[in-house]
Amino acid sequence: MNIELKDLRFSYGPVTALDGVDLTLGEGACGLLGPNGAGKSTLLRILLGFLRPDRGEGRVLGYDIRREPFAIRRIVGYMPEDDCLIPGLDAVTFTAYFGELSGMPRQEAMKRAHDVLFYVGLGEARYRSLETYSAGMKQRLKMAQALVHDPKLLFLDEPTSNLDPQGRIEVLELIKDISSKKDIQVLVSSHILTDIEATCSRVVILNRGKVAAEGDLEALKEVRFRLYEIKTAGGEGSFAEALAARGCRVETTEEGLLKVYLPPEMDRRAIFAEAFRRSVQIRTFVRSRTSLEDLFARTVGVD
Amino acid sequence: MPIAEQGYTHWGGRFVERRVPWGPITRLGVRMAFKRKFFKLAFALSFMPAVVFAAGIYVSERLEDFQFMFKGRPGSTSFLEVNPLYFKSYFAGDFLLFMLVMMMVLGGAGLIADDLRSNSLQLYFARPIRKRDYLAGKLATAGAFVLLFTLAPGVLFILLKIVFAGSFKILTAYPWIPAAVVLDSLLLATFFSAYTLLISSLSKNRRYAAVLLFLGYLFSDLFFGIFYGIFHNPAFCLLSIKANLQQVAAALFRVPPAFDVPWLYSLLVLAAIVAASAAVLARKTRGVEVIK
């Protein structure tokens, strides 16, 4: 297992950031989702040893997060959310510098810096001063410094923040390439659901410091939620209320479409029975593929 | 700009356990200092006292060749006598101390301030280095410049004296000089490094830090001057960074101090500044800002 956490708790004074987090993450790319303040960044910082948990234990790639943070940092790459580039340097020096600090010999760190900068698409700009870099280039450079020492596990904190659409697509492609072809496990923390959906096969949803949902993304969407999109001819209001009374979550879209989330124990034929009882004509009945957005909204409890 | 112009390859090398894990930090710090405007000028000017004092040692051994310079001025060559006072004059000279401050202002003010401003501390601490390694790397950056203008010239002066005199008389007459050179150099390096990092860690803006560094040194001396002028009490020398450094240097080289105040008091003042620096740095340098 890459990451195993047991009953992890951390608080910033009176504010509890993580509360009893139990987590086991294996191979592949995993998304760490949650609204602002859910504890995503705190979790990453605990995994890196920046913060010491108040309670609980954990292991990253077999190393104890309390006792062996330096061993963890040697084999883990970290791409922070904020801009954190040292002014006055060029990309090669910057990347090689952090390679050296990871324990790479100086010359090999320099050679490796060139390689990873080409890999992330900054080959031609590698001698330019970092002050002249665009937001997209800065993101890639942060990725390069995280990759320079060839980590086994990569922590990416909001990797697409501040990027334009094209830059976002390129960084997501890079993450997909790293996680699927380069034998590097990736943990992506983000609140941009489509990014997680595009790059990760597994997901952990944090809410108020607790794990709200965890597992294979497709399975989570399939098993926990059955969503139907229904168009009726008249009587939508009372029909929706009746379905809600039977335990369904019902949303009405701007186009007048009813999105009905069925609880696991309820048969879809009950919808037709209810419509028949209320003389509501069903014009469209489509089983919708549940999106991560639906899963997130349902888990976190927001629309 | 296309992604993955070149494929990713795994690195097959081995990580090394450095005896000085902070070496790369110091190397980069020194390199970055030389990129600063005016630092090179300050660096070059800081060599002036060393050149003058080295020339003085040469002249002191060749007085007969330089008689024309002192003609009609009996006793005017006494300042060329290479003794503990000569060394103390170099190590506690106003110009050298001022240039050391200027080098810290121009090359050291951003050592921590830049990292705080750019949020790069989290990148450092995401690597297998400890806080003490980070701080040691930064201290060594500032310390290296100070030692270059104190320890290196001090040792050179002793060697030059031995070579030009053709004897070890300086060491037999004043056997404590080598130890005093080393100790005073270390004191200056420790103090200036700690003082620089203390100020640098108080601001995210290197310019503010630079101004604060300079004003701290200047005003401490100014206040001493004002209070001494009013009250005529030498104890006010404890307010001045420069005077404290000069008092301790005088004690180390065993020459009479400029002010009738125990040198240990001056050492305590300097130690207090270093301790304050350690306390502030321990608090300011974290991988992540934690507000509890």
User: Around Cβ A27, how many Cβ atoms within 10 Å?
Assistant: 12
Which residues lie across from B217 on neighbouring strands? Answer: none
Angle at A194 between CA A190 and CA A198, to 5 degrees: 100
- Judged by DSSP in three states, A246 sits in coil
Q: What is the β-pairing status of strands A3-12 and A210-216?
A: unpaired
Query: Which pTM was predicted?
Result: 0.83
What ipTM is given for this predicted complex?
0.87
Q: Give Cβ neighbours of residue A144 (< 8 Å, ≥ 6 apart).
A: A91, A95, A113, A116, A117, A119, A120, A122
Does the distance separating the beta carbons of A104 and B16 come in below 8 Å? yes
Domain A3-220 architecture: 3-Layer(aba) Sandwich (3.40)
CATH assignment of A225-300, among 3.40.50.620, 1.20.120.1200, 3.20.20.150, 3.30.70.100: 3.30.70.100
Q: Where are the domains of chain A?
A: 3-220, 225-300
Does the distance separating the beta carbons of B127 and A121 come in below 8 Å? no
Percent of chain A at pLDDT above 70?
93
Q: What is the pLDDT of residues A205-240, one digit of tens each?
A: 888 888 888 888 877 766 566 788 898 887 778 888
For CA atoms B259, B263, B268, B273, give the dihedral sign: positive
Percent of chain B at pLDDT above 70?
91
Q: What is the pLDDT of residues A116-173, one digit of tens each?
A: 999 999 989 999 999 999 988 999 999 999 999 999 999 999 898 878 888 889 889 9
Q: What is the dihedral of CA B30, B35, B41, B42, to 10 degrees?
A: -40
A5 near A23, Cβ under 8 Å? yes
pLDDT of residue A183: 83
What angle do the packed helices B151-165 and B177-201 form, to 10 degrees? 160
Whether B37 has its CB under 8 Å from any CB of chain A: the answer is no
pLDDT of residue B290: 47
Question: Rounded to whole angstroms, how far apart are CA atoms A255 and A283?
Answer: 14
Instruction: Please report the residues numbered 83 through 142 in chain A whose beta carbons come closer than 8 angstroms to any beta carbon of chain B.
Output: 83-89, 93, 97-98, 100-106, 108, 112, 115-116, 118-125, 137
Question: Rounded to whole angstroms, how far apart are CA atoms A159 and A157?
Answer: 6
